[in-house]
A and B are shown apart, each in its own frame.
Chain A
């Protein structure tokens, strides 16, 4: 019974509730019993096969992360892994079958929503099937008739279990209707987080790779400029040589000039010394030639001259 329920996982066993509620169910089941997980995997593969082989069942195969099957993949992956060998073997077998009859293209993405159902259990396909012959009310009449037949012929016997089943069913339907969407949103969020983390890793990796490529290119460009360094060095050497040469020239010229100037200075010095010596000698000889007699005469003469001068100035002063 459980297995049957889970098997229909893509066709939502409860109508009016979106696929979230069914995922809750299946998740519960897979958590509790790995066996149903295996069956879920089988059904998933079977559904995928069915989807690809029977196109009329495919609705738009639009990708959507909140698809219950992808939730199954992520949230119950752990349950699957515990039943590793069997599940894996089954998955691989179906994969091989799948690819041998078709191209080796990767499996198309899972459909966004499960197959449409009416009243939560009955697939829409039945209604479409019966529509041409019996119109809109056909399947309902079929259902009512079947129910009536089973009750009246006592193929299904009403007993205590019936009421228990009805009460449990009511509670379950109420619970799923009330809490289904929030739980589904929570599972979706978990999924989104995982995908976002992986996406972030990928983005960071890509940006760092492009950055690394740019850096390498820049370094290559830098390396191209190495000739300038050596040109600078050679220039320096040439400039130093030139400077040295000019210094030598200047040194030579300056030295020659210095020597010539020295000669000139020497000459001048000699000339000056001779002059001074001569003057001194002349002075000395003149002084030594003055006799005492001459000295007295000259002093007397000086005195008489002075007296005369004094008289003259006195006369000038009084006059």
Chain B
């Protein structure tokens, strides 16, 4: 009996709930309800079954030897433990999740770097009232008027005015 059961890790459901993004909240709730049901079922079962009162049976049952036979076979019986098939699968899932998570974090960091670069550009640009039109075109290339495509004033389609 000993060493069969891996110690159950205490799970902080509150902290777990904080980290769940809102679009996965239903899945998290389902998981929680399932886990709670399983835990309740586990606690409802006593750990050891009630011991059989052999002396009483021996005194009552008339057939000789039957009770002794039962008792012998019963104590010799070993109930097989259920085989754990899922833990390896779960571990594999965890590996995959870790991989995708690191990839996502990398991408996220790249995005953050991009955003910060743009933020720096905004922070370091000269105030609008000190700009000339050339400075404006340098800072925001999209404001540059395309003189080749539209050679005549106003150098942009009339609809854009």
Q: Which residues of A contact B (CB under 8 A)?
A: 63, 65, 70, 73, 77-78, 81-82, 84, 106-107, 109, 195, 198-199, 202, 205-206, 209-210, 212-213, 216-217, 219-250, 252-254, 256-257, 259-260, 263-264, 267
**Once the chains bind, are A232 and B45 in contact (CB under 8 Å)?**
no
Which of A199, A243, A254 sits near B38, CB closer than 8 Å?
A: A243
**Once the chains bind, are A230 and B97 in contact (CB under 8 Å)?**
yes
**Number of A-B residue pairs having CB atoms within 8 Å of each other in the complex:** 175
- With A216-B112, A225-B16 given, is the CB distance from A106 to B126 under 8 Å? yes
Report how far A238 CA is from B67 CA in the complex, Å. Answer: 36
Interface residues of B in 15-36 (CB under 8 A from A): 15-16, 18-21, 31, 34-35
| Residues of chain B within 8 A of A249, CB atoms compared | 48-49, 79
| Residues of chain A within 8 A of B49, CB atoms compared | 246, 249-250, 252-254
| Residues of chain A within 8 A of B135, CB atoms compared | 106
Report how far A217 CA is from B97 CA in the complex, Å. Answer: 19
Could you give, for residues 45-71 of chain B, a 1 whenever the CB lies within 8 Å of some chain A CB and a 0 otherwise?
111111010000100111100110010
**Once the chains bind, are A235 and B35 in contact (CB under 8 Å)?**
yes
Interface residues of B in 138-154 (CB under 8 A from A): 145, 147, 153-154
**Once the chains bind, are B115 and A209 in contact (CB under 8 Å)?**
yes
Chain A residues touching B, majority SS = helix
Report how far A257 CA is from B57 CA in the complex, Å. Answer: 10
**Once the chains bind, are A228 and B112 in contact (CB under 8 Å)?**
no
**Once the chains bind, are A198 and B128 in contact (CB under 8 Å)?**
yes
Which of A231, A246, A264 sits near B9, CB closer than 8 Å?
A: A231
Top 8 A-B residue pairs of the complex, sorted by shortest distance between their CB atoms: A225-B19, A253-B49, A230-B94, A244-B82, A228-B16, A246-B45, A250-B49, A109-B130
- With A205-B122, A228-B11, A247-B45 given, is the CB distance from A223 to B105 under 8 Å? yes
| Residues of chain A within 8 A of B19, CB atoms compared | 221-222, 224-225, 228
> B21 to chain A: closest CB distance in Å?
6
A-B contact pairs, 7 of them (CB 8 A): A82-B153, A221-B19, A239-B38, A243-B45, A252-B49, A253-B50, A260-B70
| Residues of chain B within 8 A of A260, CB atoms compared | 52, 57, 61, 67, 70
| Residues of chain A within 8 A of B8, CB atoms compared | 235, 238-239
| Residues of chain A within 8 A of B125, CB atoms compared | 202
| Residues of chain A within 8 A of B87, CB atoms compared | 234, 237
Given contacts A81-B154, A237-B87, A244-B82, 7 further A-B contacts (CB under 8 A): A81-B145, A226-B101, A232-B31, A237-B90, A239-B38, A245-B81, A264-B61
| Residues of chain A within 8 A of B158, CB atoms compared | none
**Once the chains bind, are A263 and B63 in contact (CB under 8 Å)?**
yes
> A237 to chain B: closest CB distance in Å?
5
**Once the chains bind, are B70 and A219 in contact (CB under 8 Å)?**
no
**Once the chains bind, are B61 and A267 in contact (CB under 8 Å)?**
yes
**Once the chains bind, are B93 and A232 in contact (CB under 8 Å)?**
no
Report how far A126 CA is from B48 CA in the complex, Å. Answer: 113
Report how far A228 CA is from B131 CA in the complex, Å. Answer: 53
- With A220-B105, A247-B45, A256-B70 given, is the CB distance from A235 to B118 under 8 Å? no
**Once the chains bind, are B132 and A73 in contact (CB under 8 Å)?**
yes
**Once the chains bind, are A245 and B35 in contact (CB under 8 Å)?**
no
> B80 to chain A: closest CB distance in Å?
8
Pick the most buried of B4, B19, B77, B133: most chain A CB atoms within 10 A of its CB: B19
Shortest Cβ distance from A268 into B: residue: B60
Shortest Cβ distance from A194 into B: residue: B128
Which of A195, A220, A245, A252 sits near B82, CB closer than 8 Å?
A: A245
Report how far A228 CA is from B109 CA in the complex, Å. Answer: 23
Report how far A250 CA is from B50 CA in the complex, Å. Answer: 8
Report how far A226 CA is from B86 CA in the complex, Å. Answer: 18
| Residues of chain B within 8 A of A244, CB atoms compared | 82
- With A220-B108, A238-B8 given, is the CB distance from A209 to B94 under 8 Å? no
Report how far A236 CA is from B49 CA in the complex, Å. Answer: 23
Report how far A78 CA is from B152 CA in the complex, Å. Answer: 11
* B39 located at the interface, meaning its Cβ lies under 8 Å from any Cβ of chain A in the complex: yes
> B47 to chain A: closest CB distance in Å?
7
Shortest Cβ distance from B4 into A: residue: A245
| Residues of chain A within 8 A of B115, CB atoms compared | 209, 212-213, 216
